[in-house]
Structure 1
Amino acid sequence: MQAPSTYKAHFEEVYISFYSRMKRFAGQYVIREEDAENIVQDIFFELWEKQSEFTSFINLNGFLFMMLKNRCIDFLRRKTLEQQAAEEIQSEYIHTLKLKFESLEALENKFLTEADIDTIIQNAIDRLPEKCREIFVMNKIEGKKQKVIAQELNISIHTVESQMAIAYKKLKEALKDCVPLFLFLFI
């Protein structure tokens, strides 16, 4: 191993000789100047850390070129994967927006008046089993808490919860063509 001051002088000489060329080469492939600078800086940092190995290279040009080429390949591979992931997320987002837009447009055509909405919902509620309907009405229409309903009907809170779950399930099925409306009104 070379003495620290000798190594530092040798390192500075290599840095001055190769930095600009390496940055220019990297810039041709990674496009952004900051990315090219970071890649080259990382290579020189690694060389500084591996002092004993650095001084033993016979073909320094070839070694630096291979390191630079591999770092650029790794960078481009990572950026390509990141871009593909971002495009997939964007595509999914656009698809979801289109579905929601179409759903809202369809709702506009289905529900022309408030009376129509009330009739559709009342019919769905009327088709619930008797006890289930009673609990649902007490909770959602009358605004009573589940604990109060349990006390008034002399049943357990668990029964109220399970009956509400049944009501939601049956109403969701009955109003499947109106799911956004169902969600707006009851959940």
Structure 2
Amino acid sequence: MGVEQSVDQREDIRFEDIYLSYFSKMKHFAQEYVILEEDAENIVQDVFTELWEKREILSMPVNLIAYLFTTIKNKCLNHLRHKMIVQETANQLQEEYIITLRMNLNSLEVFDQNIFSEQDIEKIITRALNTLSPKCKEIFIMSKIEGKKQKQIAEELNISINTVETQIGIAYKKLRVELKNYLPLFIFLLSF
């Protein structure tokens, strides 16, 4: 039992010496690749935590410097791969956002300002609403124009909330198609 403790103590002392001797060098190495000091520090800290958990290898004939560099290199590779995936996803979302902005800009630029008389807007909306089935139209008007909650609509019409949600979804899809040339009107209609 006493021999085991002295082996553990020797491993602890050896680990501490290794940590003090190599941490800053390994951090500098990692930072050359991952750029941010915080990321480099986290990577090296992870490597030393793993080394602490497997400190029995310190008593084996292992090329410690090669082990540390290889482990840090692999963690840096994983870190950089992850960062690239995150950045590519962000770039893709940014591209989609720019496309949406461009479509909205184009839609507003070609939108005919002359239709903004009350009678014209009313005609366009009425024509679009008339493409809906009677029940769908009634539910949509109660929800978006009269401002009633879905629960209230369900109770008044004696139908389920799920039916109300489904009919509103159907109305959105049909109205989007009917008002595709009047995107601002469609948005306006949905904002009630």
Taking structure 2 as the reference length, the TM-score comes to 0.70
Q: Which moved more, 1:82-91 or 1:110-119?
A: 110-119
Whose Rg is larger? 1
Residues 1:7 and 2:11 are matched in the alignment: yes
Residue 132 of structure 1 corresponds to 134
Residues 1:47 and 2:41 are matched in the alignment: no
Encode CA deviations 1:46-99: one digit per residue, 9 max, x unaligned: 111002123214311111111111111111111111111111111111211222
Residue 64 of structure 1 corresponds to 68
Cα distance change on mapping 1:52 and 1:92 into 2, 3 Å? same
Residues 1:113 and 2:101 are matched in the alignment: no
- Give the letter for the 1:67 counterpart: T
Question: Which structure 2 residues correspond to residues 165-184 of structure 1 after superposition, within 5 A?
Answer: 168=171, 173-184=177-188
Query: What is the distance in 2 between the residues matched to 1:180 and 1:93?
Result: 18
- Give the letter for the 1:69 counterpart: K
User: Alpha-carbon deviation of 1:181?
Assistant: 1.6
Query: What is the distance in 2 between the residues matched to 1:170 and 1:46?
Result: 58
User: Alpha-carbon deviation of 1:10?
Assistant: 0.7
Over the aligned positions, Cα root-mean-square deviation in angstroms equals 3.7
Query: What is the distance in 2 between the residues matched to 1:68 and 1:170?
Result: 56
Residues 1:98 and 2:102 are matched in the alignment: yes
Query: What is the distance in 2 between the residues matched to 1:79 and 1:171?
Result: 41
Query: What is the distance in 2 between the residues matched to 1:64 and 1:89?
Result: 37
Residue 26 of structure 2 corresponds to 22
User: Alpha-carbon deviation of 1:108?
Assistant: 4.9
Taking structure 1 as the reference length, the TM-score comes to 0.72
Q: Which moved more, 1:111-120 or 1:79-88?
A: 111-120
Encode CA deviations 1:102-132: one digit per residue, 9 max, x unaligned: 223333535242222123334556x669x93
Structure 2 spans left out of the alignment, 5+ residues? none
